[in-house]
Amino acid sequence: MPLHDTSYKHWTGAHLGVWRRRLTIARNGVAACLQNRWMRHLLLLCWSGALLMALALFAVGQLLVADSVVVEWVGNFNPRLQTFARMLTTWLEEHPEISVRTTQNVLFYYFSTGLLKFSIFAIGMIIPVLITRDLASNAIVIYSSKAINRGDYVFGKFATVAGLMGLAWLGPVCAAWFVGNLLAPDWRFFWHSRGALLNVLLFGICGVAILGFLALGVSAVSSREKSTSALWYIWWIVGGIVSQIVAEVLPWLRHFSFNYNLEQIALSVFRLGDDLKRVQDNIPIFGDMLRNVSAETMSMLNAPEFTGAAVASCFMMGLALAIVAHRSRPE
């Protein structure tokens, strides 16, 4: 016999708004993703990378000031290198906005694109949690009978991917920027490196939007968990390789790989070619060194295939959205 009242009780409180309901779906999705042990290990790896990046920024920051501890320390091993470093820092000190901006922009380009690979891998692990399982267990009917519509459901699932990418990618990158500049020898580093942060955020938004929609699309393709995960990895790895091979004949096929498109978007956002040119123009010692950069590399840095990548990404996102809209119908 129950010790408390087990009869039905009415409730007269105020309902929360639709945004809170969408966030409930996202929060529940992220929590489900984090139940996977391998996902937690992967996140730990990403945040360890962020720590290493912050240390690297600290070391680079020390190279960019006159009374640098690192330059003094280098003198203990190689006095000639110390002389070179002092000459370099003299130039760099004269152009802090260029030196800080360029070094951080280049570093964050590589860090963002590198960490993005982990994020893509992580998405493959969570793809079944997004829509696949709901299709398998008819959960779409339950969602549809609650005070949300199909758009809210899709938004909540998209926010799940975005939340995970925030934890595995944008969070570590932004944290590395903040901690790295906090450890810098001068507070002005925050200001001079703002361009790098903005590029990270811009590329981050593009990456989250593209990968988020594609992940939802792949997740909605089948109700079998292994199939959707496998499809994601095949598209990423095999698709990337095959599209490069086939692209020798039909160059536009390169855009079949979402990884290639993201690389082109990253190059367009970070504009590394502009940075190199700025350094060549303002810091003579670098100007001499960078003359050796091949024309092909400069061309690739200066003129990435942004339009093709953007059009292909939009097309794929549209297709993914159409699949999600079709498959997330309750009946």
Binding residues (CB under 8 A) for other proteins: these are 2, 4, 6-11, 13, 15-18, 20-21, 24-25, 28, 32, 35, 129, 133-134, 136-139, 141-149, 152, 330-331
User: Of 113 and 144, which has the nearer Cβ to other proteins?
Assistant: 144
Nearer to other proteins (CB atom), residue 129 or residue 161: 129
In the complex with other proteins, the residue whose CB is nearer, 27 or 86, is: 27
Dihedral angle of Cα 213, 219, 220, 223, to the nearest 10 degrees = 180
Give the DSSP H or E segment for 255.
Answer: none
CB of 152: closest distance to other proteins in angstroms? 8
At closest approach, how far in Å is the CB of 215 from other proteins?
18
Least distance from C-beta 145 to other proteins, angstroms?
4
Q: Is 228 helix (H, G, I), strand (E, B) or coil?
A: helix
Looking at the Cβ atoms of 31 and 69, the one nearer to other proteins is 31
Alpha helices by DSSP H, listed for the chain, are: 18-34, 37-63, 69-75, 79-94, 96-127, 133-136, 139-144, 150-165, 171-182, 188-192, 194-219, 225-233, 239-246, 258-270, 272-282, 284-289, 295-302, 306-327
Place of tokens 């330059």: 71
Residue closer to other proteins, measured from CB, 15 or 291: 15
Least distance between other proteins and beta carbon 266 (Å): 35
The distance of closest approach from Cβ of residue 24 to other proteins in the complex, given in angstroms and rounded to an integer, is 5
- H or E stretch covering 73: helix 69-75
